[in-house]
Structure formats: C-alpha cells, structure tokens
C-alpha cells in the first residue's frame, strides 16, 4: 500500500508546489519533516522503553491469568461457537489482554495463532467463520488501556496536559467497539438466512 | 465534571504502573532486571521505527507544505460541515485505517499546525488513540489462514472506525 502512496504523495507534492510557486515552502517542509520525525523518535525512545519495561514485568506475573479470568464471560458471549474449544478461547484471551496492555508486538503473533486454531474448526475453510469475524473486529478496535503513543506525541509537541485524552479515548474506543460488534452480529445473522 | 475526567485520566498511568510493579513484588520477581530487559527491547523497537517515521513524515510534510492538504481540506469542507466534522482532521480520518505510521505523521502535522491543546488537537489525539490500522489488521489476520472471503468484516470494522471518530469529535466538543 505504502509503496504506492509514498511515491505518489511525494511526486504530487513537488509538481503541485512547482505549479503554485511554493518551491521554497516545500524545501523548508523537507527539513521540518525530518526534524519532527527525529524529535518524536527521541520522545518515543523514552516512553516506549518505559512501557515495554513495565509490561515485561506484567508478562512475568500471574496478572495475565487474572485478567484472562475476568475476560471469560465476555469471550463466552462473543464467541458462542468456541464453547468447547479451550485452546482457541485461551489464545483469544491472551491476544486481547496483550492488546489491552499495549503489547502490540506480542499481540499479533498470538492473534495469528488464534486464527490458525479457529481455522482448524472452520467448516468452509476459504471463508471467515463467525468467530474469526468477531476476533478480527476486536483486533481492529483499539482496546489499549493507556494510549502511550498519543501521549508521547502530545508530550513531544509541548501539550500542557498530555494525559487528558485518556478518558475520552476510552469512551470513543468502547463506542466504536460496540458498533463493530453489533455490525458483526448482524452479518452473522444475515449469513444464516 | 471536566476536572474529574482530567483527574481520572491523570491517575491511569500511575495506577497501572503501581499495580504491575506491586504484582511483581508480591510474586517475588526481580522487577528491575525484568524492567531493564523489556526497556532494552523498547529501544530496538524505536530504532527500527525511525526510518519509517522519517519517510512518512517527509511525504506528509511535503503534502502539507506544497498546499495539497489545504486544497483537499477546502474541497471537503462543505461535506465535513454537513456532518459537523472539523475539516482540518479529515486527512487523518482518511489515512488512519490504511497506515499506522502515515497517520501518526499526519496527526503530528495537524497538531503542529493547529496546536496540541486546541479543539482540533484534542480531536486528533482522541481519534489516534481510539482507532486502529484497520486495513492492515484485516490483511494480516486473513492472509495468515489464506482466506479471501471475508464476509464484509471490513465494513463492520470501518463502521466502528467512523463511529469512533464521530464520538471523538462529540466528546472533545463537549469537554472544550
């Protein structure tokens, strides 16, 4: 995707700038862009390392198991077809916990595992099963407890209150997830007819 | 109300860190050593991310400084006014489902232009925090089991994204 978008963005910008006589602005734009990328990376160096370290502690404790238990009733309702598939349930819960804790790097491989386990039970194996649809939707919803990247961006841009967005983020993530889940439920119902 | 929301927001990080570290202590883990090994990995993540950020910040910075973004924003203004969506945030809304790092570059660009603590800055932050790279996620999870028939899960995910964006605008308007 970006192999198409990236060159198109750059070439179009240069052509547009030359036509509208904004060559100087574009020249400044190049160096401003590099500067803000490096600045943001320096902020990230601090915050991402910090959270990775903290979450490494979480990974090493029984906290993950505790959270899995809390999730159980939700998983049961969202994935009724996996009632007897203990392995899939487990993998889905760990993937969701990893998403909530912001362990993006851990969440994806776990999610792929869960997809493969669900595929074993899939009757039509060229088509997503109901459970797989629900699982993918939950992964496209942002369930992260602490939006660390956004807070880091806000900090590096000098916000006076970088964390003030946390509650608004929770509210809109939850609303988005509910809309998505209902939509998938609707698609599942439609598929049955 | 706004003060309470800010207070709870500001408690989220300290509480999360405290609970995790206390858990580590309770289970007699070498918390500092474990922390260090995780932090080290974090540095690798950022170093690997830098080239991507550079490349995408460049592309987005060019789109902005050449005036293309303003041109597109102007084009979209009548439409976004209809749904009361701030047109300055529109470039983010369009790129967000496609690419994580490109949308990050756009978000930084928007906040640089209109301020972090302004309404536009808040909306940008909340959208970034509450949505995911939908297309990428769907691509990964369907390709790993070689499935092409996705039964419209893309539409469900995009509907969720749109709902999240609309609610983000609504909440930020309410709070400001």
**Residue B85: inside a domain:** yes
A36 and A72 belong to one structural domain: no
- Structural domain that includes position B159: 30-175
Q: Which of B101, B156, B158 shows the shortest CA–CA distance to B128?
A: B101
In a domain, residue B22? The reply is: no
Are residue A22 and residue A83 in the same domain, yes or no?
Answer: no
> A127-149: per-residue pLDDT in tens?
999 999 999 999 999 899 999 99
Q: A157 and A109 in one domain?
A: yes
Residue A89, domain extent: 61-193
User: Which chain B residues contact residue A109 at CB under 8 A?
Assistant: none
Is residue A164 within 8 A of residue B31, CB to CB? The reply is no
pLDDT range class, residue A193, cuts 50, 70, 90: low
Q: Residues of B with CB below 8 A from A60's CB?
A: 24, 27, 29, 34
Q: Give the bridge partners for B149, in sequence order.
A: A127
Q: Contact B63/A9, CB-based, under 8 Å?
A: yes
Based on the domain organization, do A76 and A141 belong to the same domain?
yes
The answer, yes or no, to whether ipTM is higher than 0.85 is: yes
pLDDT of residue A140: 95
B10-48 pLDDT, tens per residue? 888 899 999 999 999 999 999 999 999 999 998 998 999
In a domain, B20, yes or no: no
Q: How far apart are CA B52 and CA A182, in angstroms?
A: 35
Q: What is the pLDDT of residues B119-148, one digit of tens each?
A: 999 999 999 999 999 998 999 999 999 998
How many structural domains comprise chain A?
Answer: 2
CA–CA distance, A173 with B160 (Å, rounded to integer): 9
Task: Please indicate, yes or no, whether residues A52 and A65 belong to a single structural domain of this protein.
Answer: no
Which of A60, A79, A97 is the last residue in one of the domains? A60
Residue with tokens 């400044």: A28
Evaluate whether B35 touches B20 at the Cβ level (below 8 Å).
no
Q: Residue B156 falls within a domain, yes or no?
A: yes
* B37 belongs to a structural domain: yes
Comparing alpha-carbon positions, the chain B residue that sits nearest to A181 is B156
The 3-state secondary structure of A69-91 reads HHHHHHHHHHCHHHCCCHHHHHH
Q: Please indicate whether, in this complex, the C-beta atoms of A115 and B13 are within 8 angstroms of each other.
A: no
Does residue B166 form part of some domain? yes
Q: Which helix (H) or strand (E) holds A20?
A: helix A2-20
Does B6 fall in a domain? no
Residue of A90, A101, A102, A99 whose CA lies nearest to A138: A99
Residue B58 to residue A16, Cβ atoms within 8 A: no
Spell out which residues of chain A touch residue B134, defining contact as CB-CB under 8 Å: 140
Sign for the CA dihedral angle at B66, B69, B75, B81 comes to negative
Count CB atoms within 10 A of the CB of residue B114. 16
Q: Are residues A78 and A129 in the same domain?
A: yes
């Amino acid at each position: 995707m970006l192999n198409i978008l990236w060159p198109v963005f750059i070439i179009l910008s240069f052509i547009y700038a030359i036509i509208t006589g904004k060559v100087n602005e574009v020249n400044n734009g190049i160096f401003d862009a590099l500067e803000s990328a490096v600045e943001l990376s320096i902020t990230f160096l601090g915050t991402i390392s910090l959270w990775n370290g903290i979450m490494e502690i979480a990974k090493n404790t029984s906290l993950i198991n505790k959270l899995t238990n809390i999730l159980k009733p939700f998983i049961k309702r969202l994935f009724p077809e996996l009632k007897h598939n203990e392995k899939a349930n487990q993998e889905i819960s760990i993937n969701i916990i990893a998403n909530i804790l912001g362990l993006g790097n851990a969440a994806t491989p776990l999610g792929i595992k869960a997809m493969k386990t669900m595929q074993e039970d899939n009757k039509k194996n060229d088509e997503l099963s109901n459970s797989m649809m629900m699982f993918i939707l939950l992964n496209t919803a942002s369930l992260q407890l602490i939006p660390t990247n956004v807070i880091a961006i806000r900090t590096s841009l000098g916000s006076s209150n970088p964390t003030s967005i946390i509650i608004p983020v929770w509210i809109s993530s939850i609303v988005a997830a509910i809309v998505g889940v209902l939509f998938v439920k609707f698609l599942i119902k439609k598929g049955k007819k | 109300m706004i003060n309470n929301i800010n207070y709870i927001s500001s408690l989220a990080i300290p509480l999360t860190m405290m609970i995790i570290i206390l858990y580590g202590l309770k289970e007699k883990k070498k918390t500092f050593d474990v922390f260090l090994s995780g932090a080290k990995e974090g540095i690798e993540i950022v170093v690997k991310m830098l080239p991507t950020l550079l490349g995408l910040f460049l592309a987005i910075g060019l789109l902005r400084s050449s005036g293309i973004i303003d041109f597109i924003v102007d084009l979209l203004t009548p439409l976004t006014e209809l749904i009361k969506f701030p047109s300055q945030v529109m470039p983010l809304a369009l790129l967000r489902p496609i690419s994580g790092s490109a949308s990050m570059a756009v978000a930084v660009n928007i906040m640089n232009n209109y301020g972090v603590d302004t309404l536009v800055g808040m909306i940008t932050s909340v959208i970034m925090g509450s949505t995911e790279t939908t297309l990428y996620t769907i691509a990964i999870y369907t390709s790993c089991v070689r499935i092409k028939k996705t039964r419209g899960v893309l539409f469900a995910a995009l509907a969720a994204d749109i709902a999240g964006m609309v609610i983000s605008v609504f909440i930020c308007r309410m709070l400001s």
